Structure 1
Amino acid sequence: MKLLRKAFFLVLSLSILGTLHAQPKAPKATDWIQLFNGKNLTGWDVKIAGYAVNDNYKNTFLAEDGMMRVKYDGYDRFDGRYGHIYYKQPYSYYRLRFEYRFLGEQLPGGDSWNVRNSGVMLHSQSAASLGKDQTFPVSLEMQFLGGLGSGERATGNLCSPGTIANINGKLDMAHCITSTSKTYEGDQWVKGEAIVYADSIIYHIVESDTVLTYTKARIGGDFVGKNNTFEMAHFTKEDAAHWRKLDNTPLKEGYIAFQSESHAIDFRNIELLPLKGCMDPKASNFKAFYEISDKVACEYEKGRRK
């Protein structure tokens, strides 16, 4: 009996260990939400500085050949017409995947720092909440930079109009923080991904490499009312007062917006995997989305909230 009992507990223990170390179930392709349908801009709002919401000046943003394109065919000069295209729904916990490529030369009238420069805004304010002349939304920007043919130029960086975050556990007030990515030259397609867990932890991934990680995302920094930075220079007094009141508030959710910054760029395969089940094991999507990378962030979030 003792031998049988020992054998039973050995088999049970091995079974439990096997379960604990089993590969988590990966999400199915059908779990991903296609944010861009490849045919038109349905579900997206356009806001360009100086123009009303959904006044898509000179067809800056368009759907063509299965891509969301930022083009300047109708422009003579850029002249500060910074624009963004916003998905209709805000998110808090999610994985965002996409591909981008820069094209050709920069439009005349664009700033020198915007050559092969664009990005996607995470946790952004909505298109409707921007002031008419506001150039950039309060958000966390995953910045895209293309190589210029000489020297290194990382992509997947963090820029922070009206926001701040911690790098390696410490507040970093730099407006743009450089990632560890390689340089991508020419007009090649580049795969990007952002894994976002509310205000807790956010990963920037380029071509399957995690190139930047930051925590404790919140509203703050040198937005208007403090040092009147370029990005926030066109706030109304009312908007400035609103954001000052929210200084240091955790940034837990927001909209996703792709940029127009004077250099033509294409986007494709824009898709999102909701991760709301991360914090709730009873949620219907918990098991399907419980991947290795998600497990690390979920454990971080659970520990932070104890």
Structure 2
Amino acid sequence: MKFTTLLATCLLLVGLSCTVQKKEEATDEWVQLFNGKDLEDWDVKINGYPLNENYGNTFQVVDGKLTVNYDQYDDFGTKYGHLFYKEPFSAYLLVMEYRFTGDQAKGGPGWAFRNSGAMLHSQPAATMGLNQDFPISLEAQLLGGNGQDPRTTANLCTPGTNVVMGDTLFTPHCINSSSKTYHGDQWVRVEALVLGDSLVKHIVEGDTVLTFQKPQIGGGSVSNFDPAVKKDGQLLKEGYISLQSESHPIEFRKVELFNLEKYMDDPKKLKSVLRDLQTRQGH
């Protein structure tokens, strides 16, 4: 399917927000990435530690929520961590409901205050270097308000990647979305519509706040990676999803995904499926 056809199809769906809340509405395409009980289907990679060494019990399930916490840390330092779901995806709608809680870990950088994210189209956890800080990926950056200043959420950051915006290759590390600011410990729903190596949309509480195209490997803002993995210019058609640990506690009560891969070769069906999901939610 040509990129232009897919893009034209999906840009018709402004403001897509399609989380199916009721169990009776679920279909085979919905995948519950977080089962509400444990982290059996996830891999941990924390900077400076081997794969699946969950330093300080950073990632854990508490009261049915997936939490990132630092109770056992003396100092955060550069222990950036990522929790990877077990399998890759190519085309999907990712749905997350999150909130920031508590105080930032001692030693966490100032920019990481109420800062976390979901890494999309990521390299596999097993290919990260021991001291690699971030996976090569697209970050849907999650930010919480500080009580006074504007701080948008569902921004884009690009560790080891670039994207196209309009007709231009976008090479800076981050760009803000058009979302509102969410102060305090309120729950926020963020969705990412990812369609292979063509289109990505970030959606916050039903509003599309950022759109970009042609995600690809390139650029900087990632260190200690395996050069064999970082093939600059290679389009990112699929990859893993991971949740970040960047020094501020965060909880997730929902992490689910609607798999769109089987519809990618049929633009009419894809359009119909997306409209059906949108209609169910009344958006």
By how many angstroms is 1:185 displaced? 0.1
Residue of structure 1 equivalent to 2:27: 30
SS in 2 for 1:199: coil
Counterpart code for 2:246: E
Give the whole-Å Cα distance in 2 for the aligned partners of 1:137 and 1:196. Answer: 18
SS in 1 for 2:111: helix
- Corresponding residue to 1:88 among 86, 89, 100: 86
Within a 5 Å distance, the mapping from 1:100-249 to structure 2 comes to 100-222=98-220, 231-235=221-225, 239-240=226-227, 242-243=229-230, 246-249=231-234
Residue of structure 2 equivalent to 1:270: 255
**Deviation per CA, 1:214-251, whole angstroms, max 9, x where unpaired?**
001100012xxxxxxxx42323xxx13542xx111101
Give the whole-Å Cα distance in 2 for the aligned partners of 1:172 and 1:97. Answer: 25
**Runs of 4+ residues over 6 Å off in structure 1:** none
- In percent, how many aligned pairs have the same letter? 54
By how many angstroms is 1:199 displaced? 1.0
Between Structure 1 and Structure 2, how many residues are aligned?
A: 255
TM-score by length of 1: 0.79
Instruction: Specify every segment of 5 or more residues in structure 1 that has no aligned partner in the other structure, as ranges.
Output: 1-25, 223-230, 296-306
Counterpart code for 1:36: F
Residue of structure 1 equivalent to 2:264: 279
Q: What do you get for the CA RMSD once the two structures are aligned?
A: 2.1
By how many angstroms is 1:166 displaced? 1.0
Q: Judge which range, 113-122 or 166-175, deviates more.
A: 166-175
More helix by percentage: 1
More contact order relative to length (CA 8 Å, sep ≥ 6): 2
Give the whole-Å Cα distance in 1 for the aligned partners of 2:205 and 2:229. Answer: 38
Give the whole-Å Cα distance in 2 for the aligned partners of 1:293 and 1:163. Answer: 32
Indicate conservation of the 8 Å contact 2:46/2:54, yes or no: yes
Counterpart code for 1:101: R
Give the whole-Å Cα distance in 1 for the aligned partners of 2:158 and 2:270. Answer: 33
**Deviation per CA, 1:132-191, whole angstroms, max 9, x where unpaired?**
010100000000011112221100000000000011232111100110000000011100
Larger radius of gyration, structure 1 or 2? 1
Give the whole-Å Cα distance in 1 for the aligned partners of 2:53 and 2:45. Answer: 7
Indicate conservation of the 8 Å contact 1:277/1:289, yes or no: no
Instruction: Specify every segment of 5 or more residues in structure 2 that has no aligned partner in the other structure, as ranges.
Output: 1-17, 279-283
